[in-house]
Structure 1
Amino acid sequence: MPWWSWLLIWTGLTLGLLALLSWFALSLFRQARGTLQALESLRGQLPTGEFDGLAASAVGIPAVFADSAVLLGRVEQLRAERTHRNQVRRDARIVRGKLMRHAR
């Protein structure tokens, strides 16, 4: 085969590769743009007022400088709240189970 046929083959393969890569890049760009538009529409549906108080309550005194009695009281309060939530969920499961058992 003459040298120019190899040049034509490799030029064609290189151009084909570049065309395929550009097509993949274009389709990826279109998908990313569609995803960003969907995220923008979802962001518009989120309520903004609910989270303002959470950010304000997160700011406080670091635990290093707080009194240990205050910290222990807070830990006990969180444990009591968690126990109460668990008990409420357990009671709801029991009621649901009784309703399901008597439904037959």
Structure 2
Amino acid sequence: MPWWSWLLIWTGLVLALLSLLAWFGLTLFRKAMRTLHALEDLGRAADLDPNALAAEAEPERFTPAVFRSRQELSDAVLLRHAAGARRRQLRRDRLIQRSKLMTHAHLNQRTDPHA
């Protein structure tokens, strides 16, 4: 191979490397700008009312189960079970409604080629 072919190959490889580095740099710059804009929006939201954000940050303090009463813990368990049963019932009702729609099509939804 002549000497100039090696020069063309290495020039192409260096240009490809530089273009990839520029693309990665541009991608990182865009991500950094998006992050800065998000942080700016967050800072603007925090400047609105710091007392309201502090109140939302701590709805209630955590107390370990050891320091709670047995009645309070059993009520929490019953409430969690009731919420799960309600979610299961709602899902069951949605599935039943969907299956009824699939099996009982209205007459106006059917197409009759002879009509």
* TM bracket, shorter-chain basis: 0.5 to 0.7
TM-score by length of 2: 0.50
Structure 2 partner of 1:28: 27
- Residue 38 of structure 1: CA displacement? 1.1
More off after superposition, 29-38 vs 54-63 = 54-63
Distance of aligned partners of 1:77 and 1:52 in 2 relative to their CA distance in 1, 3 Å threshold = farther
- Residue 70 of structure 1: CA displacement? 1.4
- Residue 58 of structure 1: CA displacement? 4.1
Distance in 2 between residues matched to 1:24 and 1:57, nearest whole Å = 45
1:29-67 Cα offsets, whole Å, 9 max, x none, are 220222022112211232443332344444322124422
Distance in 1 between residues matched to 2:45 and 2:79, nearest whole Å = 31
- Larger relative CO (CA 8 A, sep 6+): 1 or 2? 1
Distance of aligned partners of 1:37 and 1:57 in 2 relative to their CA distance in 1, 3 Å threshold = closer
Q: Does 1:52 align with 2:54?
A: yes
TM-score by length of 1: 0.54
Name the count of aligned residue pairs.
79
Distance in 1 between residues matched to 2:43 and 2:35, nearest whole Å = 12
- Residue 8 of structure 1: CA displacement? 0.9
Q: Name the SS of the counterpart of 1:46 in structure 2.
A: helix
Structure 2 partner of 1:93: none
Distance in 2 between residues matched to 1:40 and 1:65, nearest whole Å = 39
In the alignment, structure 2 segments of 5+ residues that lack a partner are 87-115
Instruction: Pick one of 60, 63, 84 that aligns with 1:61.
Output: 63
Structure 2 partner of 1:43: 42
Distance in 1 between residues matched to 2:51 and 2:78, nearest whole Å = 30
Q: CA RMSD in A?
A: 2.9
